Amino acid sequence: MFALQFSQYGSPDVLTVADAEEPHAGPGEIRITVRAAGVTPSDWKLRSGMLHRLLPLDLPHIPGVDAAGIVDEIGDGVTGVAVGDAVFGLVDVAGHGGAAAEFAVLTVWAAKPDALSWEQAGGAAADVETATRVLNALGVTAGTILLIEGAAGGTGTVTTQLAVARGATVIGTAGQHNHEFLAGLGATPTTYGPGLVERVTALAPDGVDAVLDTAGSGSLPDLVTIAGDANRVVSIADPNAHEHGVRLSLGPGNSEHELGYAGLAVAAALATEGRFTVPLHAVLPLKDGAKAHELSATGHAHGKIVLSVP
């Protein structure tokens, strides 16, 4: 099969489309013919070698954690899905390589709703899992006032919508040019940077109940001040979160409350109801994987970056 891959850590230039060994569905898994695959910050951080001590890779490595496509192989014990079904979901990167390839094995999936394009569905699963996991960790329910630092990015836009669907009030930080965009997703926008405490206090004079940091921009001291308690703050982006008493959530844990997989079916149902979408910042062909990684690394994408697969 063909796949986007890298054989050494380095700049985006190490990425190339080349032949790779086909994965096959094991017990409890399905294989899909990939139509689209998402690009996440973890992809370029892994490729650059930034995380090699924490998450060493077997090289060559195929990036990508989420994908959408057509089921073409079903592993033992799998029920409720058939060859030819359209699905979206997550790969087990450690076990099978990534999603940016002709074929990918999914360990978690849901039926793709007609309301989402292939590109939207291909970029949905990782952010939906992350959003569901952190919303559960923060106890976000109807009536919760939630502040999202970096609300216009891929995870931020998905978290905003899922939180609003739970009945929460969302305040989201973003550049001024993204404020109308965020308001369209149901958030109350404000700018990030100096003066954030005062701006959020003006918007929520009785305080906020929970804070999610998706930006990792060094704002955790202000975010803890806003929350009033570090236990009310979760970061998915700041490796120094523990220095501020803040939980760092980098991926699914091992216990039931640390998993966000059930969110895939929830997001699919909300999309069918017209209450959830996946804003796209850019859709690029697989051969332009290096450009996609460059875009992701800027940290300025409003919505998801996705690779279309021939």
Domains plus CATH for the chain? 2-124+278-308 (3.90.180.10), 128-248 (3.40.50.720)
Nearest to 185 by CA among 174, 194, 196, 199: 174
Mean pLDDT of 1-24: 96
Q: Is pLDDT at 253 greater than 80 in this prediction?
A: no
CA-closest candidate to residue 154, choices 10, 298, 3, 309 = 298
Give the mean model confidence (pLDDT) for residues 210-217.
Answer: 95
Residue 300 confidence (pLDDT): 77
> Does residue 134 surpass a pLDDT of 70?
yes
pTM over 0.85: yes
Taking residues 63-87, what's their average pLDDT?
A: 97
Q: Say yes or no to pLDDT of 186 above 60.
A: yes
The dihedral built from the CA positions of residue 67, 71, 76 and 80, taken in this order, carries a sign that is positive
The amino acid sitting at 70 is I
